[in-house]
């Protein structure tokens, strides 16, 4: 376990969360990169750290083993869907088991339908709810 904080960043396989994971790791913290999709999360961990895991460690990588680089960055993957209580509980249990604590939670997960124009006069309530719930209630 590192001397820094243990930090979980939700929705961190792309965008601001992705950059935040790397920044926090460079400051000496153990950072959990969380993503709904395991493949996207693992790819993000590898890409953000420019890590090339050894072939013999690849199976453990799939199950959220830490990846280290020559700069000694410590980033771990945890699969997490913030809209699924079971997924949240499993992620919390995993971090508790591996680290014994969680010091900081960054609630970055969210969705948005930026590709579909929305009318201000006739809002699409299903779209609004689909954006609001994971962003606000999780």
What is the model's pLDDT at position 72?
67
Question: Helices 15-26 and 38-49 sit at what angle, rounded to 10 degrees?
Answer: 50
Q: Give DSSP secondary structure letters for 75-104.
A: EEEEE--TT-HHHHHHHHHHHHHHHS---E
Q: Tell me the mean pLDDT in the region 76-95.
A: 91
* Per-residue confidence band for 7, with pLDDT thresholds at 50, 70 and 90: very high
How do the domains of the chain map onto residue ranges?
6-110
What separation in angstroms does the CA of 135 have from each of 27, 34, 47, 53, 87? Answer: 27, 15, 25, 33, 16
- The better pLDDT of the pair 51, 129 is held by 129
Q: Tell me the mean pLDDT in the region 54-61.
A: 42
CB-CB contact of 95 with 73 (8 Å): no
Per the prediction, the chain carries an average pLDDT of 75
Q: What is the pTM of this model?
A: 0.72
- The better pLDDT of the pair 111, 7 is held by 7
- The better pLDDT of the pair 63, 45 is held by 45
Q: Tell me the mean pLDDT in the region 105-111.
A: 85
User: Residue 60: which H helix or E strand, with range?
Assistant: helix 58-62
CATH 3.90.800.10 matches 6-110: no
Assess whether pLDDT exceeds 60 at residue 133: yes
Q: Tell me the mean pLDDT in the region 93-110.
A: 93
């Amino acid at each position: 376990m590192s001397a820094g904080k243990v930090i979980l960043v939700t929705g961190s396989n792309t965008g601001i969360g992705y950059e935040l994971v790397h920044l926090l790791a460079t400051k000496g913290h153990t950072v959990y990169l969380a993503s709904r999709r395991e493949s996207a999360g693992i790819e993000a961990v590898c890409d953000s750290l420019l890590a090339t895991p050894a072939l013999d460690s690849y199976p453990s990588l799939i199950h959220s083993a830490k990846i280290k680089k020559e700069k000694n960055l410590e980033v771990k993957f945890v699969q997490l869907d913030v809209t699924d209580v079971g997924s949240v509980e499993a992620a919390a249990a995993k971090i508790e088991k591996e680290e014994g604590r969680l010091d900081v939670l960054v609630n970055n997960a969210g969705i948005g339908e930026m590709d579909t124009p929305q009318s201000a006069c006739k809002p699409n309530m299903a779209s609004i709810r689909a954006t609001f719930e994971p962003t606000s209630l999780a």
